[in-house]
Amino acid sequence: PIMLGVGKNRLSAVVAEALIEGAPTKQWWAKQAADATFKFSGVVRNGFTEGQTTDQIVTQIVGRKARGDQPEIKGFMDTSKRNARSLVHNSVQTVANGARMEVYKANSGEDGPVKGYRQLSTLDSHTTDICMAYDQKTWDLAFEPVGHSLPWKQGCPRHWGCRSLELPWLKSMRELGVDVDEVVSTRASLDGQVPASLNFETWLKGKSKEFQDEKLGIGRADLWRRGVITMNDLLDQRGNPLTLAQLKALYAPD
């Protein structure tokens, strides 16, 4: 389906709001000086709209010494380059997802192709418990969960360093009044392209016992392989991770 865009002014407003108000950076910014917050917002906002790389944005924040024919750049935040990269990554992710959501909303409704939202997590060994459980979950246009109980909360990024994406949950061709079958598509994974419908839990079932133990931890992996818990059970009803002790108390009490 063809997706309509949204106005530049509206996207600019989304960018400005998402930079500081978007989780998970909101609490961090609440402790910072207003001047640093204002400057950071401007640098990231401009970098995002101009398509700058993370490294280019970070350099403007922490600065760099003159080298060769490259002039010195004076930074304005007293933080490590690593911390700055993390801040920039999360802020840009928040802004990018916020901009996408505006496009999805503009294409929803009775005549639009978007009927809700879904999360796509990364299929590899670095994905967190939160995003393992949230992978391929869907919500309606009112952000109510569909076929599961995990809350939307603030959406992506769901944690520092989050790589997950918010995508539109599209109507099928027949829901749009077109009597044709859906086109088979794929998604990326650690192993290469896999069916687009594959979620993290199903993907993990196809990995070795050693990989599963390393990813989940031996205790949780054992509960999961025995069918005592599912990937959804790794989180509570508020979307927060549960410890092994909590999982045993809930699902495998003595």
Over residues 6-62, the pLDDT tens digits come to: 555 555 555 555 555 555 566 666 777 677 777 888 888 888 878 888 889 889 888
Residue 245: pLDDT over 80: yes
Over residues 217-227, the pLDDT tens digits come to: 999 999 999 99
Alpha-carbon distances, residue 191 vs 33, 108, 195, 196 (angstroms): 45, 34, 12, 14
**Residue that has been written with the tokens 């989050």 in this structure:** 162
C-alpha span between 111 and 107 (Å, rounded): 8
Domain ranges for the chain: 8-105, 108-251
Q: Which residues share a beta bridge with 74?
A: 63
Give residue 148's pLDDT.
Answer: 96
C-alpha span between 236 and 200 (Å, rounded): 18
Element (H, E) at 40: helix 34-50
Give residue 145's pLDDT.
Answer: 97
Q: What is the mean pLDDT of residues 195-216?
A: 96
What is the DSSP annotation of 194-252?
EETT--HHHHHHTS-HHHHHHHH-HHHHHHHHTTS--GGGGB-TTS-B--HHHHHHHHS
The four Cα atoms 5, 196, 175, 133 give a dihedral, to 10 degrees, of: -90
pTM of the shown model: 0.81
What is the separation of C-alpha 202 from the centre of its chain, rounded to a whole number of angstroms?
A: 20
Most confident of 25-29, 92-96, 203-207: 203-207
Contact call for residues 168 and 107 (beta carbons, < 8 A)? yes
Residue 62: closest CA among 76, 48, 49, 52: 76
For residue 118, give both structure tokens: 């879904």
For 46, phi and psi rounded to 5 degrees? Answer: -65, -45
Over residues 98-137, the pLDDT tens digits come to: 888 888 998 998 889 999 999 999 999 999 999 999 999 9
